[in-house]
Each structure stands twice: as structure tokens, then as C-alpha cells.
Structure 1
Amino acid sequence: MKTFAELLDRLVLTPQRNGKIRLLADYFRSTPDPSRGYALAAIAGTLSLNTVKPALIRDLLLERMDEVLFHYSYDYVGDLAETVSLAWEPPEGVAPADISLGEAVERLQRAGRSEVRSLVRDMLDRLDTSGRFALLKLVTGGLRIGASARLAKQALAEMGGKEVGEIETLWHGLAPPYLPLFLWLTGQAEMPVLKTPAVFHSVMLATPIGEGDLEGLNPADFAAEWKWDGIRVQLANVGGLRRLYSRSGDEISAAFPEIIEAADFSGVIDGELLVGGTMRSNRATATFADLQQRLNRKTVSRKLLEDYPAFVRGYDILFSGERDIRPEPFRVRREALSALIEAASPQHFDLSPLVAFSTWEELDRLRSDPPDPVIEGVMLKRLDSPYVAGRAKGPWFKWKRAPFNIDAVLMYAQRGHGKRSSYYSDFTFGVWTESESVTSLVPIGKAYFGFTDAELEILDQFVRNNTVERFGPVRAVRAEPDAGFVVEVAFEGLNRSTRHKSGVAMRFPRIARLRPDKLPRDADRLETLQAMIGMKA
């Protein structure tokens, strides 16, 4: 546990993304199985130790500590694992001993319900302060170290000299402690052949542009589609296994059973998940707020299925049957996707329509006055572009309609006033900028309204679970490229400002919606805001 605790400490103290990747790669390289596999699972969020609850940990400490003193300590420290690890006093005569991460996890997994209490007590007695902290963070799933599943996968790729796409292809077909994966990465075995097909593949992303960025581009080389206000998904039926993933690779099949049931095709498609009705039905497409009623659910009621019917608007196709057609040009993939959608359930699938245009000026007029309020702009795709993972510059662009809506990352939070005095409800958010080849977040504004009471609960819980630093009443939260919280911010204008580090000042910003489907790395950049200065809404 000692080496895992040291890793956690160093990750927290290392702000640079590349530095975190090197730390993880070195740890995976030097740590034996199964400990490194369980560490990977803990960081990626795939490790489940449901037998240990926070209440059990609190009760164990109260066996040895006055309850009033505990509450004072907990209120001051603000974190249960940190409070217990600091306040825990082993009995006299108990010899300290390090326990490996793998041993700790497997002992907890084997323990029956009646054995867990004494097992956790024994491990806390034998570990030192940092070891106790690491153990408690592990069992409660409360790691806040600025690392994520994607960062861990990139560290694995660096460790083994592999492509991160290869690891993502395997990821959903393997389970902790990932022994076959590490055997392959260390050259001791061939790439695993999965009994359960791994069906998620890294998605292709578009580069944001403005009107001035279109100079030099020939409209005849591009197809245009409407940019719909839902969430990007990947839907697969491979070898009879059906799965629905968000664009970050999280499986969301349980929340949309009707989509899974209707996916009778064989292959993998890319599209937008929406609620309401398809273009082949008589029901209008609903808003993102309606879609949120269906997101982040482990089960879904019949009423939700009836009130918020979901469908997928197809954008692209990655696999036709078992044939990988990502290298084919967009125009070829579009024909294959059209044929697949035509044969699919009309209530659950439709094809994203192309927008006819001959000049950028014509497209701009269409973009400014789209036929549906759920449209937030247009997508531009080169007709000859293959489907490649990541945000390649050149083949795909997104041209948003609303000039005063941006995606930002939460950076700081403070408690509110009055009835909100017990909630973190005042938020500072930022966008990405680059200085001396280092990409970082820069604050651009503050907002304390625009969200519903239910959304406030979500934001408050995120702050409490992801605080990394305290500055008096202000809390700094996780805000890394692969770990953090994205919000859509609406505002009425921008001005240049010498008082703000970003150089811009927002007028009347508000949080328009929460975007848990987006990674922080996908938030907007400072250059986007600078280009908005002087625009009129």
C-alpha cells in the first residue's frame, strides 16, 4: 500500500498532464501484478468494493475517539478518509506492517459481510498514516488525484509502446486486475483475444471555427450537417453484443434499453442521442433539458420511456458488419450509413440530413436561422475524409450558431447566501489557453444562477467530492483535461479587460446547462472568446 500511497501523493502534487502520465507509467512498469491492475481499476473507476461503506469507517473510528471531537475534526478537515487516517491510533503492541494493494483488495473481496468490520480495523491498525489514507480512498472510491481512465490508458500506452486506440479497443472486454493486458504490454504475451467483443472505438472530433477561418477552403470539398443539441454516442452490435457508449467511452446502455433492443443491425455507428421523435415520425425533437431526464440512470421507468422516447440520429459508421470502413472516405461511409438507417426501426433511428449550400455566405445564413430550435450550428466534413480518432485539424469543423454560448470548466466554488448558505452555488469557470507550449485553464467568469435546484444538488456534490485545495471559503475543484465538470455558459457580450488574467470580461454570465457528457478537454479555448469580442447577439 505504501507505493500506491506515494503514487497518490505525487499525482496530487503534479499539475502537468505529461508529468502525471510519466508517474503512472513508471508505477505500472515497476509494480507487480495484481497490485498494478487494481491501482489501474481504482484510477479508472472500475474497481468496486461495495462491502465497505463510509458509515462503517466512521463507526470504527468512534470506537476509539470521542464523537464530539470526531465531528469537530471532520468539520475542520472536510474529508472522511483524511480525518480517519490522521486520527486513528493503533493499540499498543500492534506491529506496523505494509500490506500490498493487491492483498488488501483480494482480502476485502473474499470477506463476508460479518468479517469486513474486523478486517478493515486490522488493516488500519497495521498501516501508517499515508497507507491508511490510501486504503480508505480506495474502498470509498473517493480518489481525487487529477487522473482519469483516459489518462491511465495513455500511461499504459507509454509503458508498453502501444497505441492508445489499441488499449481502448480492449478496455471494455477486460476486468480488474487486467492480467492479460499487462502481459501483453510487457511483451510476455500476444495481444488478448477477447471472448466478449470490445465495441467502443475512439470517436472523431471536430475543430471549432468562425467565419474568418473558412477562407481558403472550397465549399465543394465539404458536406454540411446540422449540429444537434443532444449527446454524442456510439452504438454497436458486434457478435450479438449490443452496447451504447458516450463519446468518452462510458457505457450508458441501461439508461436507453429501447435503443439497445432496436439495434438489429450489425456494426458500429456514430450519432447524436436525442429524445422526442425522429424525422421519420410525426413527433418533434425535444430539448437537451428533456434528454437530461434520461441521462445517468441505472434503470428507467415505463413512464420515462413514454414521456421521453429516445432515438439516435446517425452521423457516421465505423464498422459495417465486421468490416472496418473507417479508412473509407466520408462519402462512401455516408452511403453505407444511409442503407443501414433505412433498414432500421424508424422510431429509433434516422439519418442526419445534409444541408445543401454552394457558398460559405449561403451556409452562414442557414446556420443563423436553422429550421429547428434544437440545432446549435452546423458541422462541416470533407467528403474525402477518413474516420480518424481524436481532433485532427482539417477534415471536420463545427460552426456554432449562438455566438454567446461556450463550454467551460468549473475551477472554483464558494457557498451561497440565504437559503443557499449550505450549498456551493457560486462558481468560477475557465477555458483553455496555451502559453509557452503549456496548456492550462484560465478563469473567465463567475456565475451563481441559471441552474435548477436539482442541478444545484449535482454541482454541490461534485464540489464536495472533488475539492483539491482550500483558500478560506473558496474551494478549488478538479479541473484536468480528463477529469472535471463542464458547464455551458450563456452570456450577453464580451469586452476586453486589463483587470482579468484572461483579458476578457463577460456581461451577465449564467450557467445555461450542465454537460456531464463532455470531458474538460473538449471545453472551449480562450481564442474562441477573443474572437467573439465586438460581436452582437
Structure 2
Amino acid sequence: MLAFSSLLDRLSFEPRRSAKEAMLCDYLRRSADPDRGYALAALTGDLTFKNAKPALLRALIADRTDPRLFELSYDFVGDLSETIALLWPAAKGSGDSVSAPGLAEVVTKLELTGKSELPGVIAGWLDALDETERWALLKLVTGGLRVGVSARLAKTAVARLGDLEPNQIEEVWHGLKPPFESLFAWVEGRAGPPDTSDPAPFRPVMLAHPLDEEKDPEILNADEFFAEWKWDGIRIQAASGVDKAGNRVSRLYSRTGEDISRAFPDVVDLLDFDATLDGELLIVSDGKVRPFSDLQRRLNRKTAGPKLIAEYPAAVRVYDLLSLEGEDLRPLPFLERRGKLESFLRSLDNPKLDLSPEIHVSNWADYAQARKAPAEFLPGSDASAVEGLMLKRRDAPYVPGRPKGQWFKWKREPFLVDAVLMYAQRGHGKRSSFYSDYTFGVWRADAGEDVLVPVGKAYFGFTDEELREIDCFVRNNTINRFGPVCEVTHDPEAGLVLEVAFEGLNRSTRHKSGLAMRFPRISRLRWDKKPADADRIATLETLLTATQA
């Protein structure tokens, strides 16, 4: 655990991507199997332990320290793992009798130890470790490392151990399991590529850069791009093939490669072909795309029953064709893949797998108009499900990652509302010392009196300077506490108004306001505006009616 905890500690204080990559490479070179494989799995989010939960850790620290002291410390520190690591008392007389565990030992025992025995095992480890090692152990248990390392960066560091490209690692990644010994053997030249004979593998997705609408139209030729709609669902990949035994294998993946097939069996049943499709998962009934909130009712479920499937029927609006009958089409130019996709979907003739239509425009002015008014090009239900445009070079191959200059996304202008800060909570990782998670509300008349009703939460969009300003305001204007949540004064004359940007609205029975925002973020601080002058719920109701008309 010593080397792993040292790595996490250094990564958490290093802001530069190149330096983080160098640290990872150095650790992976110096560490032996299987420790380095488990470290890689932890960094990429591929380790989960069914019996090790935050509640278990809270119970352990409650037995070792005063509950009120822990509550106050957690409120100050803002991070559960760090709080427990600092508060955990040294075990009397056990320093020489209990040895610090290795990373592989920790992972193996967390996976195999029963629920009743696990508290004693973790407590013994905490007794044997120092503060930094305890923090790393607890981060490993909870699964939230938060050290500024993405899965892509970790895989890039693996590729740098040899002469491979990160995309080559991505190609085989989803066929591997921790501790990745075959992967390291390949990267270091001790063996060939890992066996990836999966008939329905996940293929790393190609992503787009946001369009800079002030600069990019000046340097890019509009006629070099193919334009299509950016749909308001979730990006998926539908793969199907036949294994060596002749059995059909079909899977539905999320953008990150998570297998979500069990939650969408109605879509998987459609995959009776040897191909891989890239598209958008939507809820569609009677030919009409339904709001994203309907899709959310099926997301993050392990299974879906007949009633749920009937009420919220899923469909795929297809963007691209990545493979067909064993042939990898990704190296082909986009237009050639598009032609093959159109022919393929015509042969299927299934409305649940339909083609994302091309936007037939040829200049930037027309692109801007389509982005502004999709209803001029699409039926109302489809137009309300559009969140912008996708612009793809006609000759672009399908390249994993986010290659420069190939694909662009031009999202529609966000909606804006002035809302009052109501509650705040500390963030995690680097933000654990700041109140950075905010709940905000708008005014609604209730029994003749104006009251604030929450309409959303946000934890990004602001600058570092604005974060410090809000944090200072929260500390100086807290009027109540609910565990880690602070209630902030929202007096009509003395509160803080936030300009909130968001992508859309949906009806919600889970929120007091009856509305739920899509992707809210803090646009700016309105020190120039009093809370009494913030927006009202009627403004949002009018907006919702207009966007769903």
C-alpha cells in the first residue's frame, strides 16, 4: 500500500496532465504484477466491492472516536476518507505485531471477505497504516479516488510503457479484467496482444469538440462538413455477432463502455445482425420522441420489466456504422460509412432503429438558423428533442477519442434564469475545503405569500474566483445546518442571486417545484440583483410550455 498511497498523494497535488502521466508511468514501471494491475483498475473505475460501503466506514470510526467530534471534523474537512484517516487513533501496542498489507492483498480480501468479517479486517488494516496509507485505503474502499486522473490518462500511461498508442489500449480494454497481466505483458513486449475474440466488443467512441462560434466559422469551410442533429438522449453503441459456438451475442453499451443490455432488453432484441451501430438512445412512442425525463426512468436500472418497457419504449437513432459482417469500417471516410449505413438500415426496415437525418444546408448562416430553430426542419416532437448540431468532416475516419478538427458539436444557446441560493454543501477532492455544491430556487406564490421552491442543483460553471466569493458568502450567511448541508439566508434583500444556465426543463414529481432542469450550471453571480427580484416559477412554466409545444 505504501507505493500506491504515495502515488495517490502526489497525484492529488499535481495539476499538470503531463506530470500526472509521468508519475503514472514511473509507478507502473517500478511496481510488480498484480499490484500495478489493481492500481490501474482503481484509477479507471474498474474495482467495486459489494460489501465495502461508506456506511461500514462510518460505523468503524463511530466505535473509535466521539461521534460529535467526527461530525464536526467531517464538516470541516469535507471528505469522508480524509476525515477518518486523520481521526483514526493509533492502535496501542499493535505497531510491531500487525504488518501493513500490500495492494493485491487488500483487493483480494475486500472481494472475498464476508460482510460480517469485513469490519474487523478493515479496522486491522487501519491500525497498521499511517495517515496517508489509511486515506488511500479508504479511497480504494469507497471507489472515489478523485485525484484528477481520467481513465483515458491512465490508459495513455500504460501505452507509454511500450511503443503502443492509447487507442490500441482502448481497443482491447473491454475484453480484459484486473489485474491486466496480459495487457502489461503485451505493452512490454513479452507477449502478443491479449485475446479479444468477443463477437460483440465495445469499440472506443469518437467524440466532438465544442464549436467556437466566433473563430471556427472564419477558418472552417462549411461545405466540408456533414450536418446532423444532436439528439437529447444518451450516446450508445449497439453490437452484435456470433461466437465460435454459433450463438448470437448482442450487447448495448453506454458511451463509456458500460454494458446496459439488461436495462434495455427491447433494444437488444432488435440486434439480429452482424454489425456495430453508433447512435442515440431515445424513448419513442407513436413515432414521437419523448422528453429525456422519460428516458431517465429506464436509466441506471439493472433490469426492466414488461410494464416499464411498454410505458417507455426505447429506440435508437443511428449515427454511424462501425463494423459490418466482420469488416471494420472505421478507417473509411465518413460519407462512405454513411452510405453503407443507409443501405444497412433500409435492409432492416425497423422503425426502432432509424437513421439520424442529414440537415441539408451548405453555409454557416443556414447552420446557425437550424441550430436556432430546429422546428423549421423537423416535426415538433423531434424538434424539442434536439439539443444542437453535429458537424462531421465528410472525409473523417472514425477515430477513438476527441481528434482535433474532425467533429464539432454546436449546442443550442442555454436557457437562463435568475435563482436564489438556498443550500450549499462542500465538494470533494480539491474542493473539499469549499462550499461548491449549490441548491437554488425561484419564487412561487403560496397562500398569498411568496416562498422559494428549489428548482435545481449545480456544482460547476463558475470560475475559481467566483467559487471563493460564494464560499465566503455561505460561511458568513449560514442560518441552519442539516448534516453536511448548510441552509443559506435567502432573505429577499440579503441573499445571493445566481444566474443559472440549463439545457431544458421537464415535469418532475420528485421536486417540490414540479420541474427538473437539464444540466444546470452557474453562469455568473448577480451581486447587482436582490433576491426579491429573482425569477418566478411562472417564468419556468412558460418556458416549459413553449419548448414542448
TM-score range (shorter-chain normalised) is 0.7 to 0.9
2:440 touches 2:455 (CA, 8 Å); kept in 1?
no
Cα-Cα RMSD: 3.7
Question: Structure 1's 377 and 108: CA in aligned 2 closer, same or farther, altered over 3 A?
Answer: closer
Residue 311 of structure 1, aligned match among 308, 315, 322: 315
What SS does the corresponding residue of 1:509 show, helix, strand or coil?
Answer: strand
Amino acid at match of 2:440: Y
CA deviations 1:413-468 (Å, max 9, x no partner) are: xx953xxx4x5499xxxxxxxxxxxxxxxxxxx99358996964x979xxxxxx9x
Residue 396 of structure 2, aligned match among 385, 392, 403: 385
Question: Structure 1's 350 and 510: CA in aligned 2 closer, same or farther, altered over 3 A?
Answer: same
The answer for unaligned runs of 5 or more in structure 1 is 407-414, 427-445, 461-466, 476-505, 515-519, 524-537
CA deviations 1:39-84 (Å, max 9, x no partner) are: 1111111112222233333333343334444434334433332233
Amino acid at match of 1:509: V
Aligned to 2:184: 182
CA deviations 1:148-188 (Å, max 9, x no partner) are: 22221111122233111111111111111111111112222
Amino acid at match of 2:385: V
Which stretch of the first structure deviates more once superposed, 126-135 or 206-215? 206-215
Question: Structure 1's 127 and 203: CA in aligned 2 closer, same or farther, altered over 3 A?
Answer: same
Rounded Cα–Cα distance in structure 2 between residues aligned with 1:8 and 1:472: 29
TM-score by length of 2: 0.71
Aligned to 1:46: 46
Question: Structure 1's 340 and 130: CA in aligned 2 closer, same or farther, altered over 3 A?
Answer: same
Residue 289 of structure 2, aligned match among 285, 299, 303: 285
Aligned to 1:321: 325
The answer to whether structure 1 residue 376 and structure 2 residue 395 are counterparts is no
CA deviations 1:466-490 (Å, max 9, x no partner) are: x9xx966779xxxxxxxxxxxxxxx
Rounded Cα–Cα distance in structure 1 between residues aligned with 2:366 and 2:318: 25
1:326 touches 1:388 (CA, 8 Å); kept in 2?
yes
Question: Structure 1's 80 and 327: CA in aligned 2 closer, same or farther, altered over 3 A?
Answer: closer
The answer to whether structure 1 residue 346 and structure 2 residue 338 are counterparts is no
What SS does the corresponding residue of 1:73 show, helix, strand or coil?
Answer: helix
Amino acid at match of 1:392: P
Aligned to 1:248: 256
Aligned to 1:484: none
1:61 touches 1:88 (CA, 8 Å); kept in 2?
no
The answer to whether structure 1 residue 511 and structure 2 residue 511 are counterparts is no
What SS does the corresponding residue of 1:338 show, helix, strand or coil?
Answer: helix
Aligned to 2:335: 331
CA deviations 1:283-340 (Å, max 9, x no partner) are: 2112333333333333334343223222111111111121011122222211211122
Aligned to 1:28: 28
What SS does the corresponding residue of 2:502 show, helix, strand or coil?
Answer: strand
Question: Structure 1's 110 and 224: CA in aligned 2 closer, same or farther, altered over 3 A?
Answer: closer
Aligned to 1:74: 74
Aligned to 2:271: 263
1:43 touches 1:143 (CA, 8 Å); kept in 2?
yes
Rounded Cα–Cα distance in structure 1 between residues aligned with 2:177 and 2:278: 25
Shift of 1:512: 3.8
Rounded Cα–Cα distance in structure 2 between residues aligned with 1:73 and 1:369: 52
Rounded Cα–Cα distance in structure 2 between residues aligned with 1:232 and 1:193: 27
Rounded Cα–Cα distance in structure 2 between residues aligned with 1:228 and 1:153: 29
What SS does the corresponding residue of 1:175 show, helix, strand or coil?
Answer: coil
CA deviations 1:4-56 (Å, max 9, x no partner) are: 11111101100112221111121111111111111111111111222223333
What SS does the corresponding residue of 2:317 show, helix, strand or coil?
Answer: strand
Give the paired residue count: 445
Rounded Cα–Cα distance in structure 1 between residues aligned with 2:453 and 2:234: 20
Question: Structure 1's 90 and 268: CA in aligned 2 closer, same or farther, altered over 3 A?
Answer: same
Rounded Cα–Cα distance in structure 2 between residues aligned with 1:304 and 1:189: 47
Amino acid at match of 1:14: E
Rounded Cα–Cα distance in structure 2 between residues aligned with 1:187 and 1:177: 17
Aligned to 1:91: 92
Shift of 1:358: 4.8
Rounded Cα–Cα distance in structure 1 between residues aligned with 2:177 and 2:317: 31
1:265 touches 1:344 (CA, 8 Å); kept in 2?
no
Aligned to 2:11: 11
Amino acid at match of 2:314: A
Question: Structure 1's 302 and 11: CA in aligned 2 closer, same or farther, altered over 3 A?
Answer: same
Rounded Cα–Cα distance in structure 2 between residues aligned with 1:42 and 1:309: 35
Shift of 1:215: 5.2
The answer to whether structure 1 residue 276 and structure 2 residue 280 are counterparts is no
- Say which one has the larger Rg: 2
Shift of 1:191: 0.9
What SS does the corresponding residue of 1:32 show, helix, strand or coil?
Answer: coil
Amino acid at match of 1:89: A
Rounded Cα–Cα distance in structure 2 between residues aligned with 1:51 and 1:217: 53
Rounded Cα–Cα distance in structure 1 between residues aligned with 2:199 and 2:57: 39
Aligned to 2:240: 237
Rounded Cα–Cα distance in structure 2 between residues aligned with 1:269 and 1:396: 18
CA deviations 1:108-164 (Å, max 9, x no partner) are: 333234432332222222222222221122112232211222221111122233111
1:165 touches 1:201 (CA, 8 Å); kept in 2?
no
Amino acid at match of 2:182: P
Q: For 1:191-206, what aligned pairs fall within 5 Å after superposition? A: 191-197=193-199, 199-206=201-208
Which stretch of the first structure deviates more once superposed, 18-27 or 372-381? 372-381
2:441 touches 2:455 (CA, 8 Å); kept in 1?
no
Aligned to 1:492: none
Question: Structure 1's 8 and 425: CA in aligned 2 closer, same or farther, altered over 3 A?
Answer: closer
Tell me the percent identity: 44
TM-score by length of 1: 0.73
Shift of 1:350: 0.1
Q: For 1:458-473, what aligned pairs fall within 5 Å after superposition? A: none
